[in-house]
Structures are given as structure tokens and as C-alpha cells.
Structure 1
Amino acid sequence: MDRSEIREEVLDILKDIAPDEDLSDLKDEQSFREQMELDSMDFLDIVMELRKRHRIQIPEDDYVNLASMNSTVEYLEPHMSDIERV
């Protein structure tokens, strides 16, 4: 997957976790928590969904890298480079 495909995948996961949120104005550089009403359980759901969909293991120490869209895509890019989007 390239950066744009990873971004779309993250958006898809966010839509599933927070279906009432309007993601059309999501700012890539701003924290998800500042823009959306995500609690810690929602955040864990994002991590678990990445594991379920793509078998990506994200250590708890790395959760800080998933704060915004930019940091999430940057973190996931090396982990998802060999994955093809279906």
C-alpha cells in the first residue's frame, strides 16, 4: 500500500469506529482526539482493527505514533508496504 491507500484505510477504520463523525474536514496534521470525540477504547479499537484487517502488531509504546493522520500513515507505511488493498 502506498501513503494514499493507507490514509484511505485509516479513514475507513475511523468511519467504522465513529460512524457519527464528519471526517470530510479531518486535518492530517492535527490530533485525532482534538478533532473527534474518541476515547481510549475507541483508540484501542483502531489498533485492534489494524491487527484484524492486516495482522499488524502495534506495541503499546508505539501508540503515540498514531496520534494524527500524518503520524499514523508515516508509522504504518513500512508495515503496510507489502500489503495490497482489496
Structure 2
Amino acid sequence: MNRTDALDVVKESIVRVIPDADVAALGPDDTFRDALEMDSLDFLSFIETLSERTGVRIDDEDTPCLTTLSGSADFLVARTK
């Protein structure tokens, strides 16, 4: 998976959890929880959706990497090589 594909999957996963989220306005380093007012249940749902859509196993210790578009894309690119 390349970085562009990874960013698309991350954005689509966010929209599945928060349908009215303005992902186009998200900066690469904006934290989802702050920018989208994502609560812990939404964040967990995002992680589960991301894992299901990519087939990438995401452990609890990986979640700090998945709080921004940039971090999530980097994580997916690294895990799908």
C-alpha cells in the first residue's frame, strides 16, 4: 500500500465512524480526537474499521501511532510492505 492509498483508507474509515466528519479539513498532524471531537468509543470503532478494511492487525500499543492522518498512513504503509 502506498501513502496515498493509506490516506484514503484512513479518511474513509473515519467517515464510516463519523459520517459528518470533515476529513478534507484535517491537517496531516491534527489529532482526530481534538479536530473531530472523537470520543474513546469512536476512536476504538475507527481502529476496528481500519483493521477490518486493511487486514492489518492493530494492537493496543499501536494506537498512539494512529491519532493523526500522517501517523496512520505511515503505520499502514510500514505494515503492508
TM-score of the pair, normalised by structure 2: 0.90
Q: Which residue of 1 aligns with 2:35?
A: 35
Offset, 1:80: 2.4
2:46: which partner in 1?
46
Cα shift at 1:50: 2.1
Give the Cα–Cα distance (whole angstroms) in 2 for the partners of residues 80 and 38 of structure 1.
26
* Corresponding residue for residue 55 of structure 2: 55
Q: Which amino acid aligns with 1:21?
A: A
Number of matched pairs: 81
Where does the alignment leave 5 or more consecutive residues of structure 2 unmatched?
Answer: none
Structure 1 residue ranges, 4+ long, deviating more than 2 angstroms after superposition: none
Q: Which residue matches 2:17?
A: 17
Distance 2:55 2:3 in 1: 18
Structure 1: tracts of 5 or more residues without a match: 82-86
AA partner of residue 4 (structure 2): S
- Residue range with higher mean Cα deviation, 29-38 or 49-58: 49-58
Which residue does the alignment assign to 2:71? 71
* TM-score normalised to structure 1 length: 0.85
- Shift in Å at residue 14 of structure 1? 0.8
Percent identity over paired residues: 26
State which structure, 1 or 2, has the greater radius of gyration over its C-alpha atoms. Answer: 1
Cα offsets for 1:15-62 (capped at 9, x unmatched):
111111222211111111121021111111111112222221111011
RMSD: 1.2
SS for the counterpart of 1:77 is helix
